[in-house]
Structure 1
Amino acid sequence: MIALCRLVHRGLLSIRPSCRLFAGQVDAAAPVRTASSSSPVSLTYDVFDGKGESTPLVFLHGLFGSKSNFHSIAKSLVQRTGRKVLTVDARNHGNSPHTPELTYEAMAADLKHLLNQLHIEKCVLIGHSMGGKTAMTTALTQPSLVERLVVVDISPAQTTTRTNFRYYIQAMQEMKISTDIPRSTARRMAEDQLRRLVKANEQRSELEAEREGESGRLNESQEHSVRQFLLTNLVEENGHYSWRVNLEAIAAHLEEIMSFPRLDSVYDGPTLFLGGASSAYISSDDYPEIQRLFPSADIQYIPDASHWIHADKPLDFISSIISFLQS
């Protein structure tokens, strides 16, 4: 369901905010930390400090994303609402610790741990794609932490949609980058290898798509966007290049990431499912499960927006959140 071709947009590159950052900010060049899979990890985060006393907003990114994906949105919301806004790196993403476990229950436990650390008793939780599933899991299992919930272009339905994720992950794992070369050269080298390695799997992917009645081939523009988004995770330390995401954990838990925990609890709080009108991630087939788990849910769509609503239509996205906060 979280198809990689939809995980790309020109707005995903890191944006350095002009408003004040503190507390959880971490240098992007910091070495990756590892953590035990048996306990919550201490997530890295950025805080955009609003002057108001209202409940803070907490943003959770999607698969292969990072807290910087929402920096420009966070800045605008601070200015327009006065609220404090946090953007958070999920485990195995950004600068947060690496751990073998990557489940929605674990990521919800990480978020609870972070909110406890920051003495935040309640938040407005806003999650996109994978982050939306983490947000839903948190609301269903820890409802006292969530004053309001916004789920961005994803649903709690089980997914059977075929994706090419495994091919991209395999290509990233097989990639070899020379040491002590300029970052621009390393990016070109990485993109060339990614293009070649993924292309080698295209025929197999198309055969699978034919069996499932789907189109298996992305056009060149989509493929280029995929590569550019993945390359935002290429980092350099002491002349050596590596991926900041934990590819092994993502590969091992890919089926779980594409699915959703089977939960019988209900979240009664105000909930907004915000979909892109040009995206198929929230369909009418999902409505019964949404209403079962989130009986107060409102489902809205932003015109001419794809899976990356906040990048395609940032002003409409911000206006929808503000309207929801005021409702």
Structure 2
Amino acid sequence: MWRWTWARRGLGGLGWEPPKPPRRPRSSGPRPLPLSYKLLDSQDPQPPLVFLHGLFGSKTNFQSIAKALGQQTGRKVLTVDARNHGESPHSPDASYEAMSADLQALLPQLGLAPCVLIGHSMGGKTAMILALQRPELVERLISVDISPLPIMGVSSFSSYLEAMKSLQIPQELTLSQARKVADKQLCHIIKDINVRQFLLTNLVRTNGQFVWRVNVEALNQQMDKIMDFPLVQQSYSGPTLFLSGANSKYIQPSHHPEIKRLFPQAQILSVPGAGHWIHADQPQDFMARIKCFLS
């Protein structure tokens, strides 16, 4: 069949043109994945709070804080599983651009833009990239114990993944028994019992086998990208808060100039008595800082 169309050639008069083939999806950016999430709904018109967990985490990491802040502020609150984590799909692409693309699709779909974006560690870097790429989706930004610079010499995540890959667990065990066996095997590499217990929340039984919910292979392959931060020239001019744990080394004074370059409105505050997991170490102080920033 032929159809009439306005030709763009010459003076733009009417002309004949054969039908165009269907457009292929643009391949210029990462393909978004449908993320698993939990939404605490509300009729409040204020920008919703959106929580992004860190590496090896899941949306349940912020469950109690999300519920409390929802009650205290009246706002909608969204917690999300990043790709390769929790109940979200797996992908070989674990880049921050890909994790940002997932949120660029999800937030407008749920009618939650613009939002207050709160990201811890890996989730903080994802939040920063989203704010830099699509500032209209982010009303204000909170980065929890992470800066827009490569992580150097403060993490052992690669050794964690190697230890997780090497586990040998008999299939006849219950889940609680399997986690005890896994803990004994991991303790030779991962000395901190709190870290082991955190990692073991990812051990689940699927189709009669014990597997990791996190995509161990993809995270291991792309750990360099996760530890790094994409090179970005544009800045985000919205209100921004960087919370650092007083006992953590993830945000250094030497990072402040780059933070201010990319986020010129940034406040940088330290939380006493907190390490890298500020929301777990000092939950009341963490929520108080967020509510103060919102007001």
Contact 2:145 2:251 in 1 (8 A): yes
Contact 1:153 1:275 in 2 (8 A): yes
The structure, 1 or 2, with the larger RCO (C-alpha pairs under 8 Å, 6+ apart) is 1
Structure 1, unpaired ranges of 5+: 1-36, 200-219
Deviation beyond 4 Å, 4+ runs, structure 1: none
Contact 1:95 1:244 in 2 (8 A): yes
Deviates more, 1:155-164 or 1:119-128: 155-164
Which string of whole-angstrom CA distances, capped at 9 and with x for unpartnered residues, describes residues 299-324 of structure 1? 11111111111111111111110110
Contact 1:181 1:239 in 2 (8 A): no
Which string of whole-angstrom CA distances, capped at 9 and with x for unpartnered residues, describes residues 236-274 of structure 1? 124321000001110111011011001001000000001
Does residue 116 in structure 1 map to residue 108 in structure 2? yes
- TM-superposed CA distance for 1:74, in Å, is 0.5
Residue 224 of structure 1 is matched in structure 2 by: 193
Residue 220 of structure 2 is matched in structure 1 by: 251
Q: How does 1:9-20 map to 2 (within 5 A)?
A: none
Higher helix share: 1
Percent of paired sites with the same residue: 55
Instruction: Determine helix, strand or coil for the equivalent of 1:275.
Output: strand
Structure with greater Cα Rg: 2
Contact 2:171 2:210 in 1 (8 A): yes
Contact 1:233 1:245 in 2 (8 A): yes
Paired with 1:309 and 1:274, the residues of 2 have a C-alpha distance of 8
Match for 2:283 among 295, 304, 314? 314
Between the two proteins, the alignment pairs up a number of residues equal to 267
Q: How does 1:156-175 map to 2 (within 5 A)?
A: 156-161=148-153, 163-175=155-167
Deviates more, 1:185-194 or 1:81-90: 185-194
Paired with 1:93 and 1:226, the residues of 2 have a C-alpha distance of 16
Does residue 66 in structure 1 map to residue 58 in structure 2? yes
Deviates more, 1:104-113 or 1:173-182: 173-182
Residue 48 of structure 2 is matched in structure 1 by: 56
Residue 72 of structure 2 is matched in structure 1 by: 80
Paired with 1:159 and 1:169, the residues of 2 have a C-alpha distance of 17
Contact 1:47 1:85 in 2 (8 A): yes
Q: How does 1:261-300 map to 2 (within 5 A)?
A: 261-300=230-269
Structure 2, unpaired ranges of 5+: 1-28
